[in-house]
Structure 1
Amino acid sequence: MEKTNLKGKVVLITGGAKNLGGLLSRDFALQGAKVAIHYNSDHSKMEAEKTLADIIKHGGEAFLFQADLTNVENISTFFKETKQRFGGIDIAINTVGMVLKKPFSETTEKEYDQMFAINAKVAYFFIQEAGKYLNDNGKICSIVTSLLAAYTGMYSTYAGAKAPVEHFTRMASKEFGHRGISVTAVAPGPMDTPFFYGQETEDAVSYHKSASALGGLTKIENIAPLVEFLVTKGWWITGQTIFANGGYTTR
């Protein structure tokens, strides 16, 4: 896909240090955008610093912001600091998520609260703050999961906590549309990253690979161009959740 010239634009990415978020951070910087990169904890610090170094090496401009976004004040601070540094925000992308694969009957209240805080609460207030801080004609995109269209067990809190983001996306697209702001969600299939493998047995990995019509797991390189399209030339798509999974699930 032909790259878009984003010189002078500002892109804010939660979870922007590694995996899909890291690829998006690098891609947007290469297209001329200034990038605000969030990462959660010291566990991701090394990868965050490497992503930042790669961007600077290629002449880009970016900064790092570390915070636990389940504290809503930190989401607001991230947007506020980005606007103060770069003068405004044009694109906001939320890649934050957490997977739990566990039987419904064994899931604890603590696990439920954690999963909904990370996957639903963060997404809600991320979109809310984006609505406050984005420039007119801005773009918002959230990463959800293709499990939203799956008929399966074991992922009650993960798919359950991502499901509301579809509704947040629709509501926000209606409320922000008069300002030219498009709001979308992308639902990848199981992605070939450490985020996926931590929850799955070898047999389950084999199943997931075989379940897609095109074969194999979703690659971050399959998803990044779609996200980039939606927040640039594809801005006319709004209020939608796009399933990008090689035929893993359909609706």
Structure 2
Amino acid sequence: MTKQTTKRVALIIGGTGGIGKSVVEKLAKEGFAVAIHYASNQGKANDLVKAIINQDGEAISVGGDSSNEEAMKEVFHSVEEHFGGIDVVVNTAGIMLLSPIASLELTDLDKIYQTNIRGTFIVSKYAAQNIRSGGALINFSTSVTKTQFPTYGAYVASKAAVESMTLILARELRGKDITVNAVAPGPTATPLFLDGKTEEAIQQLAQATPLERLGQPEDSAEIVAFLAGPARWINGQVLFTNGGLA
């Protein structure tokens, strides 16, 4: 049964992750009704829904593998059924497996491809079909496409693909009044980034920026809220949000 809402509606893919959760919380505070997508952690998604509703917000959780076309089709359908439409889609879902190219296991390359490339393509496809006029699609890349850190080869290759499809989709949606952009964070203090790194490596990356700190998930959420709301003249761009990382 469709529930019409007077709020703008945002679907956040990967909404229980480090950056995804911050995006959910920020957009809810900005007055969006939010649909929180999860791949496997339904309990965390439902807890986030309850927290938002307890603060007089509107939220639902929706689950599914972002690389599965039928699952994503159902996710978009469920959000439209509940809220009456979709205005903003934010895709924060991604995996990062690090290895020198010479020793990378191709099974790991396939995993990265499934989530980061195929998943982004599927989400972008259904976003293009379903976002209402005046809306926005925001994909996620990485600043390492510019810094070229060793061991990031497969991950960066996948994110370069994300950037390319994002910029092309922005042009393909001419006349729809839908903006399509990518956010490319620098080193950000999330479980995805911190996993497997020594304290020394983390501190080196923190000192690499002129601001001398790691990014926080909230830094990326601020940019997403800008692109989802007032930034109607930013379209077909990659925004490098990295504190000045060269």
TM-score range (shorter-chain normalised) is over 0.9
Q: Which residue of 1 aligns with 2:101?
A: 104
Q: Which residue of 1 aligns with 2:29?
A: 30
Gaps of 5+ in 1: 1-5
**Structure 1: distance between partners of 2:193 and 2:42:** 20
Q: Which residue of 2 aligns with 1:195?
A: 192
Q: Which residue of 1 aligns with 2:236?
A: 239
**Structure 2: distance between partners of 1:218 and 1:62:** 27
How far residue 32 of structure 1 moved from its aligned partner, in angstroms, is 2.4
Does 1:170 find its partner at 2:167?
yes
Equivalent pair of 1:10/1:86 in contact (CA under 8 Å): yes
RMSD of equivalent CA atoms:
1.4
Q: 1:174 to 1:63 in 2, by over 3 A?
A: same
How far residue 205 of structure 1 moved from its aligned partner, in angstroms, is 1.1
Q: Which residue of 2 aligns with 1:161?
A: 158
Secondary structure at 2:196 match in 1: coil
How far residue 7 of structure 1 moved from its aligned partner, in angstroms, is 5.2
**Structure 2: distance between partners of 1:104 and 1:180:** 40
Equivalences for residues 41-56 of structure 1 within 5 A: 41=40, 44-56=41-53
Deviations 1:103-137 (A, max 9, x none): 11221121111001111111111111101011112
Does 1:218 find its partner at 2:231?
no
Secondary structure at 1:27 match in 2: helix
In structure 2, give the amino acid aligned to 1:46: G
**Structure 2: distance between partners of 1:152 and 1:61:** 41
Equivalent pair of 2:67/2:122 in contact (CA under 8 Å): no
Secondary structure at 1:49 match in 2: helix
Specify which of 79, 91, 104 is matched with residue 76 of structure 2: 79
In percent, how many aligned pairs have the same letter? 32
Deviations 1:169-198 (A, max 9, x none): 111111113110000000011111111111
Equivalent pair of 1:90/1:137 in contact (CA under 8 Å): yes
User: What's the TM-score, normalizing by structure 1?
Assistant: 0.92
Equivalent pair of 1:23/1:224 in contact (CA under 8 Å): yes
Equivalent pair of 2:26/2:222 in contact (CA under 8 Å): no
How far residue 90 of structure 1 moved from its aligned partner, in angstroms, is 0.4
Q: Which moved more, 1:87-96 or 1:204-213?
A: 204-213
Q: 1:143 to 1:121 in 2, by over 3 A?
A: same
How far residue 208 of structure 1 moved from its aligned partner, in angstroms, is 0.8
Gaps of 5+ in 2: none
Does 1:136 find its partner at 2:136?
no
Equivalent pair of 1:18/1:51 in contact (CA under 8 Å): no
Figure out how many residues of one structure are paired with residues of the other and give that number: 242
Secondary structure at 1:47 match in 2: helix
Equivalent pair of 1:140/1:182 in contact (CA under 8 Å): yes
